[in-house]
Amino acid sequence: MPISHDAHTVKQFDVQLANLRNLVLEMGGLVEDQIQNAIKALNDEDVSAAREVIARDQIINGMQVKTDEDSVNLIALRQPLGSDLRLIMSLSKIVTDLERIGDEAEKIARMAVKTYDGDNNPPSAKLLRDVAPMAKQATTMLHDCLDALARLNVEQAIEVAKGDDELDQEYQAALRRLITYMMEDPRTIGQAINVLFIVKALERIGDHARNIAEYIIYLVKGKDVRHINMETLVQDALKGE
């Protein structure tokens, strides 16, 4: 049964559920900014902007703690069932992935600091060529899954999950290219490994976005679509439409 949009008899419960969802969406917006700022700092070779990203990760961690606290209180005090229970459980899991995405943004920012702070020899444009398209794909996935969460849109969540396969392929391609550069010119190994950490972080963001998309499908459809292939995921997610 899809989520009921009718109000609860106890209105305060509606308010608390809405607050919890808004907190998670707000956290999602902040995480989205973090990735964009980290990538921008990298592009602009802006070390102080990168340091700001690193400092802001604490706010995201705090929001995760607050969401989990609110979820536990709602479960203890309201004994939610049905779609209310699925909503709270999903949000609680979604924040874990959002927090990890925040960590990945922080990692990218740290790489920007490491690469451009002081007299380090920065990587060439050739080495960085995969970062921009992968960053675009990863941020789009995160944006779309947050949008799907706000609208409880299963179709959009499916598209996000599908996008992860593409990002994985891009990552594999980037990895091959980086290895080729390193073999061609061993002097680039140090820089190439830094870039490798960045594209790995972007690939992980895609994984977390896919997890979030799966929780949205569970929340709306009551069907657990984790750890199954894409074909079955799409079938299960659209069942009972």
Contact footprint for another protein (CB under 8 A)? 1, 4, 6-10, 13, 79-86, 222-223
Q: Which one, 80 or 206, has the nearer CB to another protein? A: 80
If the CB atoms of residues 48 and 79 are measured against another protein, the closer one turns out to be 79
C-alpha triplet 36, 58, 157: angle, nearest 5°: 50
Q: Which is nearer to another protein, 82 or 186 (CB)?
A: 82
Nearby residues of 184 by Cβ (< 8 Å), 6 or more positions away? none
- CB of 234 vs another protein, minimal distance in Å: 19
Closest approach of Cβ 176 to another protein, in Å? 43
Task: Compare residues 91 and 192 and give the one whose CB is closer to another protein.
Answer: 91
156 in Cβ contact with 147 (< 8 Å): yes
Least distance (Å) from another protein to the CB of residue 86? 7
When the beta carbons of 171 and 218 are compared against another protein, the nearer one is 218
Nearer to another protein, 80 or 123 (CB): 80
Smallest separation, CB 84 to another protein (Å): 5
Shortest distance, CB of residue 3 to another protein, whole angstroms?
Answer: 8
Report, in Å, the least distance between residue 224 CB and another protein.
10
